[in-house]
Structure 1
Amino acid sequence: MRTLNLGILAHVDAGKTSLTERLLHAAGIIDEVGSVDAGSTRTDTLDLERRRGITIKSAVVSFALGGTAVNLIDTPGHPDFIAEVERVLNLLDGAVLVVSAVEGVQAQTRVLYRALRRLGVPTLVFVNKIDRAGARTHSLVRDLAAKLDPAMVAMDAVTAPGTAAAESRPRERDTAFDEDLLDALLDDELLEAHLANADASPTASGMSHVAHDAALASAFTARVAQARAHPVHFGSAITGAGIVSLVEGIRRFLPGSDGDADGPLSGTVFKVERGPAGERIAYARLFSGAVAVRDRIAVGDGRQAKVTGISVFEDGVDRPRPRAEAGRIAKLRGLGEVPIGDAIGRPPKLRTEHFLRPALETVVLPANEHDRPALHTALTQLAEQDPLIGLRHDETRRELSVSLYGEVQKEVIGATLAEEHGLEVEFRESTVICVERVVGTGAAAEVIAKAPNPFLATVGLRIEPAPGPAVDFRLGVELGSMPLAFFKAVEETVHDALREGLHGWQVEGAVVTMTRSGYWARQSSAHGGFDKSMSSTAGDFRNLVPLVLMAALREAGTVVCEPLHRFRIELPAADLGGVLAALAKLRAVPEPPELDHGRCTLEGTLPAGAVHGLGQRLPGLTSGEGVLESVFERHEPVSGPVPSRPRTGANPLDREAYLLAVARRVTGD
């Protein structure tokens, strides 16, 4: 059976989870449509999701659509949980992007559509809430074309929009519909055929009309499968209007996956949860091959694990099965401490779309000091489920910090710790996460058995700027000049050490080249035993690299950069002056406003740390009518005092203190 892994994506409150419920009802999986407000939806399973009425974790539910098994993946819409969406995008065969007929294209809509387009995921648009007051149809299609992609084609006609009686039916095949298809296709041959058919008499060219219509429909279907055109369906997830047409669109336009079940095993882990006994359960998409209970399979970098249990998604639930094949999403037990992102079997070639790392962080403090060890354990488990939480442990101050996309995520973490782990916590005020960028070239080296180097290793490193955020490690010495394990230790330690630069922020955009290497081969004492005092180990390189790298980085220099967001504010024109004054205090850089019939649209850039404050002040400045959207745009050097972040461990910029900390770590004191 063909499998379609289908993502439902949207800006928060566009009705994504309600649409999921309606699709499950249409497929006969549920007898009654659940309500987000009542907390009775199938995919929002967490108590916190049901209470808050938002999706926090991605969820998988399945149903059959003709001869296709659909794995429907409901994703969070709130931007604070964009990491959940990122992990799902690589799995999708197709997507439905939900847009509210009232609010239209919103900030998160743009972010999600750009990601889907870059990844080439075939996408349908579903305009929801046509029954709500203020619902738009024709003008909304124009907005979709202007703000997302010109190749948007309305597939439905809506009657009585904005009323409880709103209905949606497939459009009739007429000249206007054909012209919309041609505008999306931009195909000269089809355009010429269309014009010729328009001039021909029905009796003389009836068959050519039929052939032309078929060719036009076929070309549009092919273009949708290539993610170069997008059908737009209209309806209401609450009333069920337009759902039949949407289901037909999914069946018709979205191609599924036909993975080779007889090929080599290849898959990826995109979600991890804990079972009743605390065991890890890995959600994996299988792209090729098959896996069975009791199979020993390669996981991650090649370690072997024995599969002890398999569940696959069928008919709205996950069912235990002895085997899962290519194309399916399976829950696998027995893979040990498997993290999100690990490969199953042969690493698949994934389309990758990386959203920005979280821009904020906060210190988490236990209400009861005795709960500090339990808090560390609980946050470690949360970081397993969301690696971008970025747990940091400041050993000196005995403080735990987590990364955040926004204040809502902070509230969710606090509620999760209280409800699932019985821990009451407090949060310090959120601060902005900056980065450091290398501005020059620096080099340093320390030689074995030559003061002041206390380690049995020779390491020379050069660091220089590079475009983009990545850190690239290169060898400027021969690969055979020392054991491969020592080179690996150097490379891993370079990446670890650059998580905290000269000012404590992660260093990005750099090339690090190893310019010198050296070691002492394994030596034995007089009695034939291994003599550590005369033999280099990987530990010598791991301990020496931070000293050499920070010396090179100090010579090169870094600049601290803060994240900037692009903002868009819609507000009454009469309130523009007050909003501009507030933006000036927040170090925003607004562009010339656009005025239209008493309304104003204002765009510009704003430091990420000021976004939350602006969102709180805007209602008061605009009598509740201002609407703020913001997305990350770039990092820029900070103005004013350079912020620093405390280091979490031994500081290689302070040589004496660093060597003392290493000595204590080695001896266990």
Structure 2
Amino acid sequence: MRTLNLGILAHVDAGKTSLTERLLHAAGVIDEIGSVDDGSTQTDSLALERERGITIKSAVVSFVIGDVTVNLIDTPGHPDFIAEVERVLDVLDGAVLVVSAVEGVQAQTRVLMRTLLRLGTPTLVFVNKIDRGGAQYEKVLREISDRLTPSIIPMGSVRGLGTRCPSFTPHGADEADFTARLAELLADHDDAFLAAYLDDEKPVSRERLRDELEAQARRALVHPVFFGSAITGAGVDSLMTGISELLPATEGDAAGPLSGAVFKIERGPAGEKIAYVRVFSGTVRVRDRLRFRQDQEGKVTAISVFDRGSAVPRPSVSAGEIGMLWGLVGVRVGDTIGVPRTTSARHRFAPPTLETVVVSRPADKGALHAALVQLAEQDPLIDLRQDDVRQEISVSLYGEVQKEVIQATLANDFGVEVTFRETTTICVERPAGTGAAVEVMGKEPNPFLATIGLRVEPAPVGSGVRFGLEIELGALPPAFLKAVQETVHETLRQGLHGWQVTDCMVTLTHSGYAPRQSHAHASFDKSMSSTGGDFRNLTPLVVIDALRRAGTTVYEPMHRLSLEIPADTFGSVLPVLARLRAIPRTPAMRDSSCVIEGEIPAASVHELEQRLPALTRGEGVLECAFDHYEPVRGTPPARPRSDHNPLNREEYLLQVQRRVTSRGEGG
């Protein structure tokens, strides 16, 4: 049987969780359809999801259509959880994008479709809520074509639009208007089909038309559009047929080299870690030892595979399937299992651009840290930042709703009550030039038994931090080399202004150490011999010295801005955009509305969201998504350091000496 890993995506409240329930019911997996309002849906299992009526974590359920097993992944719709969505997109074979027939194309719908197009994910569009008052057909089709993609084809017609008993009737192959429209769309993407279409002597057959539609839909060249209602069930049978026929299910190569991706982590009842893995090739069996993330390894102790609505224990999980794996203690979201995929340039998560300090009662600090570590396992982009100096913990965020969710999760799941400081923007630093520094063992002011020379220089945007060698291989013991490399990455989490340094190349240019020595008939003497601690303690000083010589520029995150407002409110909106440092391009007039596109600092987005309803009589629609970083104009903002501050050599050495004295120093 073939397997299709399917994502359902939508703007919040478009009805995708209700559609999931309807699909499970139509496939015979559940007897009763759950309600988002009542908190009785299959996929919203978190108490907070049921309480708020939104999806926060992706969930997997399974059902069968004909000869296709569908692993359906219900994903969050709120923009604050876009990272959760993007992790899921990386493991999908196809997607259904849900659009409301009443609200039409909304801000998050556009973000999602843009991502689906970038990844080349085959996508069907389902226009939901045709039973609601105010539902539209032609208007929504125009919006989809104008704002999402012009490569669409409506697959049927609607009767009873906006009534309690609407119906969706699929177009037949004998409908001339439909076949002509479909043929023209398909001809835009295939020269051979275009030639056949233009051949008056031999018209394109219905079979050729259908085959070409299937082929182009599976290659994400065209996007069939279905209409229906998740509440009444109208149009859902046609959508299910489209899912099985127009999206690319696969059998996979179960005997090939193992390749998989971890897209979700959760904890079981006993606190054990469970990894959700999409297997692209090969087979994972219980008791297999799996490698992931460089030198990490774990033994699989149990496996469950999704089957007809639930996860069932199995001895193995094979290519094309999604499995829950127990036993991989060190695994994280985003890890590759086995051989990396050649197409894994797909991981391009937009970084969180906000952060806040989490505040708890002093007695709960230990429990808070443990709880946040668990949350960071499930979402690595939370990116905990521990400030040992101020005894504070910061977390990264995508938006204010995510902050509320973290707060409620800590209270409900871990019994830790927290508040938050004011949300601030996360900047980054990049080297402005090239700088080098050397500290030589035995020469003042170096107090450590280690020689380290480093050069820091700019690297291409998006490359992160890379580490290279100019010393001879074998000149430094592997343990000492590892200590330098790890500490370089750790130190660059805070640059000259306290922000993470990125897009740079760090090269080890000099090295030296004191070989292991001891007095006669005595044990090892670390006062005469280099240890890993010498290299870990010296590296921050050399990194910061080289960085000082290079200089750094602070960059702030910029969001791509798309704002649709009533045309008569343009005069009042424009000055606000200017005050918020937005950079709008020439506005476009569309009927009675005005569309403004451009960019805006991430720091200004929340205020624009708050002010927009009053400025536009509640009719403004704002779409924002991270786009790039730009140099900060004027005095660069600084972030307080959370380390022992190698910017101040005297203070740093004093702190390191205290740490060494209190903990003891080892190799």
Q: Same fold (TM over 0.5)?
A: yes
Which residue matches 2:451? 458
2:645, 2:652 within 8 Å by CA — same for their partners in 1? yes
Deviation at 1:302, TM superposition (A): 4.3
CA RMSD of aligned residues (A): 2.1
d(CA) in 1 for partners of 2:324 and 2:67?
Answer: 23
**Residue number in structure 2 paired with 1:137:** 137
Larger mean CA deviation between 295-304 and 89-98 belongs to: 295-304
TM-score (structure 1 length as normaliser): 0.93
Deviation at 1:323, TM superposition (A): 2.6
In structure 2, the residue matched to 1:407 is 400
**Are the equivalent residues in 2 in contact too, given 1:299–1:335 (CA < 8 A)?**
no
**Aligned equivalents of 1:489, 1:180: Cα separation in 2:** 64
**2:519 is the counterpart of 1:517:** no
Q: Which residue of 1 aligns with 2:177?
A: 176
1:132–1:640 distance in 2 versus 1, CA, 3 Å: farther
- CA distance in 1 between counterparts of 2:629 and 2:63 reads 43
Confirm or deny: 8 A CA contact 2:559 2:601 kept in the other structure.
yes
Alignment partners' CA distance in 2, 1:324 and 1:190: 40
Per the TM alignment, residue 532 of structure 1 is displaced from its structure 2 partner at its CA by 2.4
The one-letter code matched in structure 1 to 2:170 is P
Once the two structures are superposed, the pairs formed by residues 111-510 of structure 1 within 5 Å of their partners are 111-173=111-173, 174-181=175-182, 182-186=184-188, 187-197=190-200, 208-209=202-203, 212-349=205-342, 350-366=344-360, 368-469=361-462, 470-510=464-504
Do the aligned residues in 2 keep the contact of 1:418 with 1:424 (CA within 8 Å)?
A: yes
* Residue 9, structure 1, aligned to residue 16, structure 2: no
SS of the residue 2:657 aligns to = helix
More off after superposition, 264-273 vs 593-602: 593-602
C-alpha contact 1:157 1:171 (8 A) present in aligned 2:
yes
From the superposition, tell whether residues 228 and 491 of structure 1 become closer, same or farther in structure 2 (CA, over 3 Å): farther
Deviation at residue 351 of structure 1 after TM alignment: 4.8
One-letter identity of the residue aligned with 1:289:
G
Normalised to the residue count of structure 2, the TM-score between the two structures is 0.94
One-letter amino acid of the structure 1 residue matched with residue 81 of structure 2: F
For residues 258-317 of structure 1, the C-alpha deviation after alignment (integer angstroms, 9 at most, x for no partner) is 232233433232211111111112212222333333344434434443332221111101
Does the C-alpha gap of structure 1 residues 374 and 640 become closer, same or farther in structure 2, counting only changes over 3 Å? same
User: Residues 31-88 of structure 1, C-alpha deviation per residue, up to 9 Å, x if partnerless?
Assistant: 1221111211110001100111110000000011212211101111111111211221
8 Å Cα contact 1:89-1:353 kept in structure 2 = no
Query: What's the offset of the Cα at 1:237?
Result: 1.3
Query: Per-residue displacement from partner, 1:507-526 (whole Å, max 9, x unpaired)?
Result: 12212222222233333432
Q: Distance in 2 between matches of 1:241 and 1:476?
A: 67
Q: 1:596, CA displacement in angstroms?
A: 4.1
Q: For 1:380-400, what per-residue CA distance to the aligned partner results, in whole angstroms no more than 9, with x for missing partners?
A: 111111111111111111111
Q: Give me the whole-angstrom Cα distance separating, in 2, the residues matched to 1:166 and 1:224.
A: 27
Q: In structure 2, do the counterparts of structure 1 residues 261 and 163 end up closer, same or farther at CA, with 3 Å as the change threshold?
A: same
The equivalent of 1:31 in structure 2 is 31
Counterpart in 2 of 1:534?
Answer: 528
Comparing 593-602 with 239-248, which one deviates more in the overlay?
593-602
Change (3 A) 1:107 1:475: farther
Asked if 1:52 is matched to 2:52, the reply is yes
Sort the Cα spacing of 1:178 and 1:308 in 2 relative to 1 into closer, same or farther, 3 A: same
Q: Is the 8 A contact 1:152 1:184 kept in 2?
A: no
Give the secondary structure class of the aligned counterpart of 2:558.
Answer: strand
Amino acid at match of 2:85: V
Q: Deviation string for 1:354-389 (max 9, x for gaps)?
A: 2221111111111x3211111111111111111111
1:538 CA displacement: 3.1
1:583 positional shift: 2.2
SS in 2 for 1:532: coil
Q: 2:612 aligns with which of 605, 610, 618?
A: 618
Letter of the 2:483 counterpart: A
Using the TM superposition, name which of 236-245 and 659-668 deviates more. Answer: 659-668
| Counterpart residue identity of residue 196, structure 1 | D
More divergent stretch after superposition (590-599 vs 512-521): 590-599
What amino acid maps onto 2:8 in structure 1?
A: I
Distance in 2 (alpha carbons) for counterparts of 1:229 and 1:519? 62
* 1:629 matched residue in structure 2: 623
8 Å contact from structure 1 (residues 271, 283) kept in 2 = yes
Report the number of matched residues.
Answer: 658
Of 402-411 and 548-557, more deviation after overlay is shown by: 548-557
Which residue is equivalent to 2:553? 559
Instruction: Report the alpha carbon displacement of residue 551 of structure 1 after superposing the two structures with TM.
Output: 0.8
Unaligned runs of 5+ in 1: 201-207
Question: Match for 2:43: what amino acid?
Answer: T
Aligned equivalents of 1:516 and 1:230: distance in 2?
A: 57
Instruction: Indicate conservation of the 8 Å contact 2:58/2:75, yes or no.
Output: yes
Change (3 A) 1:519 1:175: farther
Within 2, Cα distance between the matches of 1:341 and 1:525?
A: 49
SS at match of 1:249: helix
Pick closer, same or farther for the CA change 1:385–1:522 going to 2, 3 Å.
same
* 1:213-247 Cα distance to aligned partner (Å, 9 max, x none): 32232223222222222222222212211111111
Given candidates 651, 656, 663, the residue that maps to 1:657 is: 651
Q: CA deviation at 1:659?
A: 1.5
Q: Secondary structure at the match of 2:102?
A: coil
- Aligned counterparts of 1:299 and 1:601: Cα–Cα separation in 2: 46
Aligned to 1:205: none
State the one-letter code of the partner of 1:80.
D
Counterparts of 2:218 and 2:494, CA distance in 1 = 44
Separation of aligned partners in 2, 1:256 and 1:457: 57
The residue type paired with residue 626 of structure 1 is G
1:528 Cα deviation from its structure 2 partner? 6.4
Change (3 A) 1:183 1:260: closer
Give the Å deviation of 1:176. Answer: 3.0
The amino acid that maps onto 2:280 is F
Q: Which of 587, 590, 600 lines up with 2:594 in the alignment?
A: 600
In 1: Cα distance, 2:423 partner to 2:275 partner: 32
Contact kept in structure 1, 2:186 and 2:193, CA below 8 Å: no
Distance in 2 between residues matched to 1:307 and 1:38, nearest whole Å: 38
Q: Is the 8 A contact 2:126 2:227 kept in 1?
A: yes
| 8 Å CA contact 2:187, 2:194 repeated in 1 | no
Counterpart of 1:2, as a letter, is R
Is the contact made by 2:106 and 2:621 (CA closer than 8 Å) also made in structure 1? Answer: no
Moved more, 251-260 or 241-250: 251-260
Corresponding residue for residue 106 of structure 2? 106
Query: Residue 259 and residue 520 in structure 1: after superposition, are their counterparts in 2 closer, same or farther (change >3 A)?
Result: farther
Please list the CA deviations of residues 154-196 of structure 1 after superposition, one character each: whole Å capped at 9, or x if unmatched.
2222234333343222112234333333324423332333233
